[in-house]
Each structure stands twice: as C-alpha cells, then as structure tokens.
Structure 1
C-alpha cells in the first residue's frame, strides 16, 4: 500500500528564499529515491511563506528508507531555525478512490 503524506510549515519572515533553496535541493534528492513516487513542493498563493509538500512513497518500506536517507537529518537541522513551527507538521493520508 502506498504511503502518502502532506507536510506543512511556515518560513520565518525573511527566510522564504533560504527555505525555498533548501527545499529545491532536498526535493531533487528525494525524487531520486527508488521508492519515491511524488514529492511536490508548493507555496500558498495568498501566503508565500507557507510551504506545503505532497509526498507519495511506494510503500512503508520505501517511506522508512526515505526517513533513513543520509541527507534527511542535515536538511531538517538546517530547516528548523528557518521555520515558525518546531518541525514540519505531518498529515498522513489514506487514498479513497
């Protein structure tokens, strides 16, 4: 069964460009993961500091491989001081149709 989630966070005032740069680099790496099917990054039109990431992995094993990727920890460490939340807010989704 596919593993699907939605991650969201808000860049601190003035940190939008650095967050966008980090995300572009990170997205390139995640999209190369064997089990990654989708890694789409968005900002909200009416609030460009709000970042939303829609992620789909082949299955739970692929998601666990993603979590254990060597670039994940450094990305989260670099991101943490640039966002308003303590960490990305994750919402796991179940596909209905």
Structure 2
C-alpha cells in the first residue's frame, strides 16, 4: 500500500526566494528516489509564501528510506530558520478507496 502525506510550511517574509531554491533542489533528489511515486510542491495561489507539498511513496519502507536520506536532514536544517514555526507540518493521508 502506498504511503502518502502532505507537508505544509510558510516562508518568512524576505525568505521566499531561498525557500523556493531549497524546495527545487530537494524535489529533484526526492523524485530520483526509487521508492518515490510523487513529490509535488505548490504554493497557494493567493498566498505564495505558503507551501503545500504532496508526497507519495511506494510503501512505508520507501518512506522510511526517504527519511533516512542525509539530504533530507540538510534540507530541514536549512529550511527551519526560513519558515514560520521553524519547520513543516506533516499530515499523513489514507486512501479510503483502496483495498488494504
């Protein structure tokens, strides 16, 4: 069963460009992970400082491999001082239409 989640964060004023650069770099790396199915970052149309990232991994093991990647920790450390609250909020998702 796939493993899906969303990550949400808001760039502090003046950090929008750097946050976008960090997300672009991370996106390329995550999409290259063998267990990644989707990694789709977006900003809100009316609030471009607010980010929403939709992520899907082949299964929980693939998600755990993603978490263990060193570049993820590097991204989170670089992102923390650039976003409100010091990090992203994760929401784990379930597909009620799939059979377990």
| 1:87 shift after superposition | 1.5
Q: Shift of the alpha carbon at 1:86?
A: 2.5
Structure 1: give runs of 5+ residues left out of the alignment: none
Q: Residues 17-56 of structure 1 correspond to what in structure 2 (within 5 A)?
A: 17-56=17-56
Query: Gaps (5+ residues) in structure 2?
Result: none
Equivalent in the alignment of 2:73? 73
Structure 1 stretches of 4+ moved >2 Å:
none
Structure 2 CA distance for aligned equivalents of residues 91 and 53 of structure 1? 10
Q: CA deviation at 1:85?
A: 1.8
Alignment length, in residue pairs? Answer: 97
- TM-score, normalized by length of structure 2? 0.95
CA contact (8 A) 2:16 2:49 kept: yes
Tell me the C-alpha RMSD between the 2 structures: 0.6
2:4/2:56 contact within 8 Å kept: yes
| Rounded Cα–Cα distance in structure 1 between residues aligned with 2:35 and 2:85 | 28
Is the contact between residue 12 and residue 82 of structure 2 (CA under 8 Å) also seen in structure 1?
Answer: yes
* Residue in structure 2 matched with residue 63 of structure 1 by the alignment: 63
**Which structure's residues are more often helix, by fraction?**
2
Distance in 2 of aligned mates of 1:73 and 1:86: 14
| 1:96 Cα offset (Å) | 1.7
